[in-house]
Amino acid sequence: MHAALQIAEIQQVFCSQMSTVKSLAALARTCKTLKEPALDCLWSGDLEPIELICLIKVLKPVMEVNLWRTCVVADVGLTTGDDWMHAMSYTTRVRVLHLSVLSEWRITEHAIRRLWSSSSTIEQVFPKLRSLVVDGINSTSGPASWSLQLHCDFFFPNSSALTLEFSEGVDPEFWRLLPERSPRLKSLAVTPPRDTRYWIISDGHPEYPMVTPLSRAVEQLRLLEYLKCPDLENDALLAVSQLPGLEYLSLWEKEIVLPYPTMLQFPALRVLDLVQVNFRDLNDNAIDFLYSLETIPETVVMKTLTPLFRLHRLKEINIPRWDCQVDFSDDDLAAMMTAWPGLENLWLGGRLVCP
């Protein structure tokens, strides 16, 4: 058995069975043979993105009280060669990193930049980093604000994924630099804000000033397979519809009106998510968007049923926030089956209604 555990494939199987960070940590502590592969999995961020503060905590953080009388991490104890080797034993494993200025410990930008010395580049310190999760970017002042440049330093040429919590505080330069520095990005997700106080309200509806610079960035990201954002300008939407590899598209606040006629190709699209964040009924713009599709994806996720009756090629429908009692008559079911002869699954409120 001991000899078998030396085989890399078997080590990978053991580690892949660990579904939580705690179980991986326990495996690393209790099995000497599997310690290194378990640590590789634990610090990769594949199970949970590695928060920057988790790295700081294992590197002798130097705490100070700043002008706001807040305790912050002002520096990290990296002075000797052994200190740097210890730091690199963690950073070189990270594949998914979470940058949050709102973490439990406030970290100064100086302390973060100390993770790479004058003799090392950030790419050398994080050689495996491919995915970045960013939130709190709107915090431009306070106990531990970070510059735009710091966030953009983590845009690597081989980056494949970026998840960003929506904020109108995102500098347009952020979007200009993203495709320039990370042209191979395959996944871009701009998630709805957790705090709606950051929205700009006009005529009772949210507005998103980031849509224009975001649209310019998306036009240049030609390898996208997954895209989630509030909306796109028409030129960007047309460009996205021609991407050969885009399989998932979510526009969680479709507001921009499409000119008529507009035909959107989406040759590889499998899932279209039009569930809107503000829980309004599906508006005419989103319906017009549906009718503009040359090819209907296999799965549509949205809030209402009737606009889909003209989309005869649907295979799956998912309406997750359906809060009505499901009570279809035989005539209702017959109408649905007539409208969607190829329908395989209908999900309403998380329940499989048919077949």
Please indicate, yes or no, if residue 204 is contained in any of the structural domains.
yes
If asked whether residues 330 and 251 sit together in one domain, one would say no
Please indicate, yes or no, if residue 107 is contained in any of the structural domains.
yes
If asked whether residues 322 and 291 sit together in one domain, one would say no
If asked whether residues 227 and 89 sit together in one domain, one would say yes
For residue 124 the two structure tokens come to 């050398």
Give pLDDT, residue 228: 95
CATH number assigned to the domain comprising residue 273 = 3.80.10
Give pLDDT, residue 205: 46
Please indicate, yes or no, if residue 243 is contained in any of the structural domains.
yes
Strand partners, 284: none
Please indicate, yes or no, if residue 11 is contained in any of the structural domains.
no
Please state, in angstroms and rounded to a whole number, the distance separating the CA atoms of residues 262 and 249: 18
Tell me how crowded residue 200 is: count the other CB atoms within 10 A of its CB. Answer: 10
pTM over 0.75: yes
Q: Which residue range(s) make up the domain with 340?
A: 304-355
For residue 330 the two structure tokens come to 């035989």
Tell me how crowded residue 275 is: count the other CB atoms within 10 A of its CB. Answer: 18
Please state, in angstroms and rounded to a whole number, the distance separating the CA atoms of residues 306 and 300: 13
Q: Is 339 helix (H, G, I), strand (E, B) or coil?
A: helix
Give pLDDT, residue 158: 94
If asked whether residues 82 and 198 sit together in one domain, one would say yes
If asked whether residues 121 and 264 sit together in one domain, one would say yes
Q: Within its chain, how far is the Cα of 163 from the centroid?
A: 3
Give pLDDT, residue 11: 59
Please indicate, yes or no, if residue 224 is contained in any of the structural domains.
yes
Q: Please give the tally of structural domains in the chain.
A: 2
Give pLDDT, residue 204: 45
Residue ending a domain, among 303, 321, 343, is: 303
If asked whether residues 296 and 308 sit together in one domain, one would say no
If asked whether residues 141 and 272 sit together in one domain, one would say yes
Residue ending a domain, among 303, 323, 339, is: 303
Please state, in angstroms and rounded to a whole number, the distance separating the CA atoms of residues 139 and 163: 17
- Expressed in angstroms, the distance from the first to the final Cα of the chain is 48
If asked whether residues 85 and 116 sit together in one domain, one would say yes
**pLDDT tens digits, the chain, 355 residues: what are they?**
555 555 566 657 666 766 677 777 777 777 776 777 778 888 899 889 999 888 888 888 888 776 666 778 888 888 888 888 888 999 999 999 999 876 667 888 888 898 887 678 999 999 999 999 998 675 444 445 688 899 999 999 999 999 998 776 788 899 999 999 999 999 999 987 765 544 444 444 445 668 899 999 999 999 999 999 988 988 999 999 999 999 999 988 777 677 766 788 899 998 888 765 443 445 556 667 777 788 777 777 766 566 677 677 788 888 765 555 556 677 777 777 888 888 888 887 777 776 6
Give pLDDT, residue 253: 78
Please state, in angstroms and rounded to a whole number, the distance separating the CA atoms of residues 187 and 165: 14
Amino acid at 118: S
20 by Cβ neighbours in 10 Å (0-12 / 13-18 / 19+) ranks as exposed
Please indicate, yes or no, if residue 197 is contained in any of the structural domains.
yes
Please state, in angstroms and rounded to a whole number, the distance separating the CA atoms of residues 275 and 253: 8
If asked whether residues 196 and 330 sit together in one domain, one would say no
Give pLDDT, residue 201: 47
If asked whether residues 149 and 167 sit together in one domain, one would say yes
Residue 311 φ then ψ, to 5°: -95, 85
Please indicate, yes or no, if residue 38 is contained in any of the structural domains.
no
Please indicate, yes or no, if residue 20 is contained in any of the structural domains.
no
If asked whether residues 101 and 209 sit together in one domain, one would say yes
Report which secondary-structure segment, H or E, holds 188.
strand 187-191
Strand partners, 51: 98
If asked whether residues 75 and 169 sit together in one domain, one would say yes
For residue 341 the two structure tokens come to 């002869």
Nearest to 46 by CA among 24, 27, 30, 28: 24
